[in-house]
Structure 1
């Protein structure tokens, strides 16, 4: 029975609203539950909370960091402990949505995020959860994982629990019109990386491959259009769906070496997560290609890479055409930190153990050097 598919668990938000104007669903959802609504947002989105159409008491936590750490989360939980919201809304990119997830399980619990790290350790949620992404990259609205950085170790603390599944996810492409071209490009490659890494993972599953490959195609079709014209509603909608599909890939399969190698760029040097993934993407895709040649060919085809291009050149050129400076040095990474970064990335076994090709610390170091 070796041809049997491996067991898989699929978890999705019960309601996902997609399309221009769908933001109106948020206010009615919150109103039906009454009580106080807590909005978790970065500084920019905190300034446009009125677009959510909320009635009744509203409290805004508007200081989500681009790469949130445990102190940032603790500030949010302290606020939530005081106001005891009935609804929590993650309003922003993956950072805001991840903190919103953690807030609904930590509020009133007396627990620390380190104590619930891992799978299935979080308590039941204290409030309803709504996720409203304002970028198209992380797919965090779709899943049950959240990550924050531990400043003591400079590593990501990962929590996975069905208690963090959104009751409602709203993907309104009009919210992404204001995203600058550079951020559109970087977050779009993050969505791409989620799909590609799940598609080529040792844990890849045919059911998830369907989402992964279509997500890659959507990025290939629409990302350059959205970078060129931020008001292209069709392109923005296509990227929102690609990001959602990337989120679908994260739960049952997850990412591999691309994310492991990119994490130290954020935790050690503050490089935004999407950009970190873009800088690493062509290098890891090319490294893994010998282990998964057929799937790699499908990735290049989905991205519109011309026949005859090498894997690295095709992927690199795809990112470069988006206006991304693909050098680690340009992003401010110091050359004398590559060894420490390689050691840190190599220790992220929860991802590297499922990479399609074994990768050692020296090989990670070589990838950083090539990207420098």
Structure 2
């Protein structure tokens, strides 16, 4: 695929899955309590990070509420096992993911694994989960992963330092409540990195080999929303319109992940998180310009549209693409050099080997990417 952007046929089959109900906008947190009461749900488990655990009262929950407030930024197997033990003991009839992608990803697994006879390794891959044991509500507090809208969960295996990906229709939320007011407290650096993560979901799906016109609509609009509102939210965190625009972009990015998924950008970013604990959004932001530029010759028209949607000059030239995308991230205050994030230079080769092995993503990339080319990206970003 070079020279012109190959578009899949309009009649290519694709499946769209959405939460049964989505509540979007300021003040929508108030919809949770009536929803819970209507269904007579009594044993509630909230899965959150420490910060959101301290503001569970905002959810206005009735009844007996247990809070697991120890979700880690890049959740691993021990973190999952800890929350599963809580769930096994209390047998919740409702699980609520409350936080960023990490909390929502763990909540998905907590809603399906306890009492199922299945362990995490049994369900890695597509559609291996047998059933769901509890109702599931997802409440994002960052605008990044869009995990509230999707069927995927990622957990790091400490033994291999790889991310285990589970995908199942049983992990789709019954109710997703996207209240952008919850994101007002996110600091500028995290706002910038998570916003670029949301945009990367959209840009990678838009330029993927598996891209589809039905998803391109969400992808391009998600990129436009980030281009328009991310600089504003970074500058002024209390800008309600900007926060809402990013929450919408994040949700659109989540819609892109299910049927299409990400490509090289995420594959090359993953070792930064799993090996060096760099937050996922920051890793994606740092890598984004390099993979967008690499792919430009294979998808020139779509690459130009991505730049245009970000408010940059349209271009298909890899060098110009790299400079434009890099400048966009840098203007947001994102740290764009690996050396400043304490990544040892002598680990770049191992990282390149690991990233090159993530075939589930690299095989979707519009242009082949060798281990050497991945290493060159890390060197250029160093």
* Range of TM-score over shorter length: over 0.9
Residue in 1 aligned with 2:340?
Answer: 330
The 8 Å contact of residues 293 and 322 in structure 2, kept in 1 or not, is answered as yes
Matches within 5 A, 1:75-90: 75-90=82-97
What is the distance in 1 between the residues matched to 2:33 and 2:285?
35
**3-state SS, counterpart of residue 136 of structure 2:** strand
CA contact (8 A) 1:31 1:54 kept: no
Aligned to 2:379: 369
Partner of 2:162: 155
Pairwise CA distance, 1:156: 0.5
Cα distance in 1 between the residues matched to 2:228 and 2:178:
19
Q: CA deviation at 1:6?
A: 1.1
> For 2:10 and 2:91, how far apart are their aligned partners in 1?
47
In the alignment, the residues of structure 1 paired with residue 304 and residue 10 of structure 2 have an alpha-carbon distance, to the nearest angstrom, of 25
Aligned mates of 1:90, 1:101 — CA distance in 2: 8
Inter-partner Cα distance in structure 1 for 2:121 and 2:201: 25
Pick from 259, 262, 266: which aligns with 1:259?
A: 266
CA deviation map 1:98-152 (0-9, x unaligned): 0000111101123210111011101211100000000000000000000100000
Alignment of 1:298-309 (within 5 A): 298-306=305-313
Q: Secondary structure at the match of 2:283?
A: helix
Alignment of 1:96-135 (within 5 A): 96-135=103-142
User: Which blocks of at least 5 consecutive residues in structure 2 are unaligned?
Assistant: 1-7
Q: CA deviation at 1:5?
A: 2.5
1:237 counterpart (234, 244, 247): 244
SS at structure 1 position matched to 2:14: coil
- Cα separation, 1, equivalents of 2:9 and 2:223: 27
What is the aligned partner in structure 1 of residue 37 from structure 2?
31
Cα distance in structure 2, aligned partners of 1:80 and 1:23: 24
Give the Å deviation of 1:306: 3.2
Aligned equivalent of 2:365: 355
TM-score (norm 1): 0.98
Q: Retained in 2: the 8 A contact 1:266–1:272?
A: yes
1:14 is matched with which residue: 20, 30, 37? 20
How many residue pairs get aligned? The number is 371
Is 1:172–2:179 an aligned residue pair?
yes
Deviations 1:340-370 (A, max 9, x none): 0000000000000010000000000000000
| C-alpha distance in 2 between matches for 1:28 and 1:98 | 24
How far apart, in 2, do the equivalents of 1:40 and 1:330 lie?
A: 32
Question: SS of 1:230's equivalent?
Answer: coil
Post-superposition shift, 1:310? 1.1
Query: Any conservation in 2 of the 1:31–1:56 contact (CA below 8 Å)?
Result: no
For residues 281-292 of structure 1, the aligned pairs below 5 Å read 281-292=288-299
For 2:291 and 2:114, the matched residues in 1 are separated by: 39
Shift of 1:34: 2.3
Q: Take 2:119 and 2:370, find their aligned partners in 1: how far apart are those partners?
A: 33
Stretch of structure 1 that moved more, 88-97 or 27-36: 27-36
- Does the CA-based 8 Å contact 2:305-2:314 persist in structure 1? no
- Aligned CA RMSD, in angstroms, stands at 1.1
State the alpha-carbon separation in 2 of the partners of residues 75 and 325 from structure 1. 33
Counterpart among 333, 343, 359 of residue 353 in structure 2 = 343
Seen in structure 2, the aligned counterparts of structure 1 residues 3 and 53 have a Cα distance that, compared at 3 Å, is closer
Residue 301 (structure 2) aligns with: 294
Distance 2:9 2:95 in 1: 44
> Which residue of the partner structure matches residue 5 of structure 2?
none
